[in-house]
Structures are given as C-alpha cells and as structure tokens.
Amino acid sequence: MNLFLAQLISGLALGSIYVLLATGFNLMLLVARIIQFAYPHFVVLSMYVCWYVLRVTNDNIVLAILAAILFAVFLNIVTQPIFRHLMRRREEETDINITFIVALGMSMIVTDVMSHELNEGFAIAFPEAWAGREAFIRFGLVTISMGEIFTLVVGIIAVIGFFYLLYRMKLGRSFRAIAEEPYVARLVGIPVTRMGIYSYAIAGLLGGIIAVLLSLLLGSASAGLGEMVALKVLAVAIVAGLGNLLGGLVCGLFLGIAEAMVMGYFPGSWSNAIAFVLMLVIVLAKPHGLFGTRV
Amino acid sequence: MAQNKVNLLKIEDLSVSYGYVKALKQASLEVNEGEIVVLIGANGAGKSTLLATVLGVHRADSGTILFMGDDITLRPTETIVASGISIVPEERGIFPSMTVWENLQLGAFHNTRDAIKNLKRVLEWFPILAERRDQVGGLLSGGEQQMLSLGRALMSSPKLLMLDEPSLGLSPVIVTELFNIIVDLNKEGYAILLSEQNARKALECAHRGYVMETGEVILQGSAQKLLRDQRVRQAYLGG
C-alpha cells in the first residue's frame, strides 16, 4: 500500500509534466497550425540553461528559474518566424506536414548541440540542494522526495491555471475559436496572427515551468532526454486525439501514473516499452485517438 | 425610408482575383445609413467574395473600399471589424463545440467595454439564446444557430451588419421570421448589406438592391424597381 501511494504521487508528478507538455504542443498545433516536435527539446535545453545559471551564480535558485523560463519563451518566439514563413507561402491551404519536418530538423540540431557542445556532451546533474533529493516523507523503505512533492504541487497548479486560461479567459476562448473554425474566427475579428504568436509565448512560458519541474523531478538531464520526452508527448497527443486538450489531460496523467506503477512493480526499464506498446494497441484500435482528433 | 443619404460604405471599381480567376470585376456599390441593401445573384456571382473583401479577407487587385470616409481597402480584418462592420457568415459559422455564451462573448472581442450592455440587448432580441446559454452551439437548431450568429455579430456594436446568404438551409417559416428581424434591426439603426439567393423575400424588405453576375454588378436600383424589372423577374423571381 505504501509503495502504491509513493508511486501514485510520483506518477501524478510525472503525469502533470506530460499534461503540460502535451497541452503546450496541442496549443501550437491548434492555434498556429504547426506540429512542434522540437518543443520538448527546447524544454530540455532550458534545463541546461537552468543548470548553467545555478553553476555560475553559486546556486541562485531564483535566477536559475527565471533564466529557464525566459530562455524557453525566447527560444519559442525566435523560432516562430520560420514556421510563419512556411505557412504564409502555403497561404490558405496550410501543409502541416512540412512544419513537422522543420520541427524535426530543429530537434536534431538541439540534440546535437547538447551532445557535442554543452558540458562536453556529458549528462548534467543538478546540485543536491536544488534537486530536493532528501526524503520528505518516509514509509518504511519507501520515500517521497521533496522534489516530487514540489513538482506535483506546482505541476497541478500549472495545469489548473492553464486550463483556466483556456476555458475561462478571453485569450483561451479565442485560442479555441481559432482551433475550431479558423476562418470564422478571422471573420469575427479575432486577430489570428497575433493570437498565433501569443500561443508560442504561452507555450514557451509553460515550457520554462516544465524545465524547472523536470529538473527537480529527475535531478539530471542528458542530450537524449529531449528525444525521449518528445516521443512520449507525441504519443500522448496522438493517443488522446491530436489537438484534443481535455484528452491530453487524461492521457498525460494516465501515462505518468502507468509509468510510475510499472517502475514500482516491474523490473527496471520496461516502462518505456510498455508505454509504446499501449500506444500501438490504442492507435490500431482507434486511429483518431481515444477522444477524437480536433485538427 | 432612407431619407438621410449619409454614406456609410462606398465600394468603387473593386476587382479581386483568385489566381487567374477574376472573382470580382470593377464592382461598385454603396450603402447609406439606415438602409437595407441586398445583393442578388446566382451561386458564384461574386456576392460572398464582395462581402469577404469588405472585411479584408481577400486582397483587392484594384479599387477602393471606404467605410465612414476611411479607406479600409488594405486593412487587416480585425481592424475593420473593430471599426464597426460585422458579418453573419454563410452557413452561420458558429463555433459548434463552444457554448452559446462563449460564442456571444467572442463577438465582443474588440468591444469588451459595452459587452454587458450589448449582451442585454442581444438577449432581448433573441430570448431563446438566454435559455440555451450553457448549451454548445452545435446542438442548436438551424434557426437558433442563425439567431446566435446574428447575436454574435451585434455584440461588437457594428454600424454596418453584413449577412451572407442568411436564409440558406432554413425552413420558410424561419426565413420569414429572420427577415422580420432584419427589418426590425434596421429600424433600430443598423445599416444592413445582405447577399441572398432568395431574391423575392430579400427585395421585399430591402430599400435598394444590386444584381451580380459573374463578378460584375449588372443592375442596380430601388428594391421596387428591381422587383418589377423584367430581367430580374425572369432570372431570380421565377418569371
């Protein structure tokens, strides 16, 4: 029972990160019409920035968090004109596949930079104080770390805040309107291009928060992490149904919990394999995802 | 009827093309304050293109569009909507998965200041929308969706209301009701420009009309004159 509880908490923490990533990914897909595969890579690169700032400022946590968030927003916004250029050349009939190829290229560049240039290609480890490795709660042999608790709390607050924005605020309402009927949204007077840029900025902000949470939860990062996370986010988004925000919420949480349970009850490294076998089965049975595509 | 001839919308020699296809050929048109103006013509005559171009959706090859004296020809759609033109799109164009309430709020994107006041008026016009407030738009009947679309267009306090084929796909009873509402809205002070294939109904409630064919305005005049016109009767009123 204790083990179950501990795995449930770490699963929820991981799951809320997947939810945030899938939602940021879906937001750009819906509002800006791009498949931003490199989004998780940007998040991992922001973890590197966070780590670097911690190192040079002698563990100044506030500065590190700020740097990670600002860097993620910056990176998301500076890459935006590339996609916008592609979309403009295609005019009305937007070819979403081309944005995927471009994003794939971006993701490879980011991975290569991390594996060749940053920390001489070695994995980075966050300092003890930051990662909150010390046990917060202990039941017998099972411990829940400070990092996990913090990730869980902030992750859930961020998910609630973000869904509040999407479903209760004017900005989110406009995002969903563009997602549903882009042409009508334009006729109604919603500034579609400007909203597209906002979606990048908000996804970037979210990415920065995710970078901070992920570094707390994992305590380390390496060049390959972006690829791994990106595949899972894509899997979550596809299984839920591309562009389905609420579906992403359910599937993200489910994947986090499922992974944590597998890690708790099965030997070692099977969690990834199980995640992808599950995805394969679901997509074969329901090609439009569990909750239906919205793109 | 339309005694005051204050000009609201003035389109001069407007040409628009899609690739090599000329969709509008030097079309000219005017809407004065307090008027209902109808555009009649068959499918593909350029009515919808004209309305969309006024809203800045298509880029004009040549010609000008003046709204309250300002040249709006090359302005982005959101600016044009904010300056006082709104549209009820063809096939209603509501957001089906969003609630009635959210659909209405989207209409107030540029006019949040008057949103409460406008909402009150819209709900007075269309009490059914108050009842259906929390229902998603896709579950409304065709007529209710048209009311929603109209209500949404009114949320931005427009001076000119454009309706693109408003009677399309609606039952005759609802169409009659719809045109009554259009006349009432006009009496409230909204200038109205509508495109219609249902030429008789539209001309009966309009002050003036324009007949379009393959991108050109081929005929114009008062609604009574068009109703009596031999060519109009043959082509659009069934003889």
Residue B2's pLDDT band (boundaries 50, 70, 90)? Answer: very low
CA-to-CA separations, B183 to A214, B129, B191, B224, in angstroms, rounded: 61, 20, 10, 16
Confidence band (pLDDT; 50, 70, 90) for A3?
A: confident
Mean pLDDT along residues B191-195 = 96
Residue type, A116: H
Contact assessment for residue A54 and residue A60, using Cβ atoms and an 8 Å cutoff? yes
Nearest CA in chain B to A179: B95
**pLDDT at residue B86 greater than cutoff 60:** yes
> What is the 3-state composition of chain A as percent helix, strand, coil, each rounded to the nearest 5?
80, 5, 20
Per-residue pLDDT at A263: 83
Measured in angstroms, the CA of A15 and the nearest CA of chain B are apart by 27
Lookup result for tokens 């901070």: A212
**ipTM (interface predicted TM):** 0.91
Of residues B103, B82, B100, B90, the one with CA closest to residue A176: B103
Check: pTM over 0.90? Answer yes or no. Answer: no
Q: What local confidence, expressed as pLDDT, does residue B1 receive?
A: 46
What is the least distance, in Å, from the CA of B200 to any CA of chain A?
A: 28
Query: What's the full length of chain B, in residues?
Result: 239
- Retrieve residue A115's tokens: 């594996």
pLDDT digits (tens, 9 = 90+) for B205-233: 999 999 999 999 999 999 999 999 988 88
Residue of A nearest to B102 (CA): A173
Cβ–Cβ < 8 Å for A252, A203: no
Phi then psi dihedrals of residue A136, to 5 deg:
-100, -45
Give the N- to C-terminal CA distance of chain B in Å, as an integer.
28
Strand B208-213 and strand B160-164: the pairing is unpaired
Model pLDDT, residue A152: 86
Cα dihedral across residues B224, B186, B94, A100: positive or negative: positive
Contacts of B89 in chain A (CB under 8 A): 184, 187
pLDDT digits (tens, 9 = 90+) for A169-193: 999 999 999 988 989 999 999 999 8
A275 or B23, which is more confident? B23
CA separation for the pair A282, A286 (Å, rounded)? 6
Nearest CA in chain A to B91: A184
Q: How far is residue B165 from each of residues A23, A272, B40, B87, B132, measured CA to CA in Å?
A: 37, 54, 10, 11, 24
Task: State pLDDT tens for residues A29-55.
Answer: 988 888 999 999 999 999 999 999 999
Nearest CB to B87 within list A181, A185, A187: A187
- Cα of A146 to nearest chain B Cα, Å: 40
The number of beta carbons lying within 10 Å of the beta carbon of residue A157 is 12
**Cβ A184–B93 below 8 Å, yes or no?**
yes
Length of chain A: 295
Q: Beta strands A124-125 and A220-221: pairing type?
A: antiparallel
CB contact under 8 A, A173 and B107: no
Among residues B19, B85, B78, the alpha carbon closest in space to that of A92 is found at B19
Q: Where are the alpha helices (DSSP H) in A169-191?
A: 170-180, 182-188
Asked if the Cβ–Cβ distance from B98 to A174 is below 8 Å, we say no
pLDDT for the residue A82: 84
Q: Which of A110-114, A134-138, B90-94, B161-165 has the lowest mean pLDDT?
A: A134-138
DSSP string, B33-61: TT-EEEEE--TTSSHHHHHHHHTTSS--S
**Distance, CA of B78 to CA of B82 (rounded, Å):** 6
Numbered residues of chain A with Cβ closer than 8 Å to any chain B Cβ: 170, 173-174, 176-177, 180-181, 183-192, 194
Distances (CA, A) of B200 to B164, B178, B205, B228: 16, 14, 9, 11
All residues of chain A having their beta carbon less than 8 Å from the beta carbon of residue B75 are: none
Strand partners, B87: B162
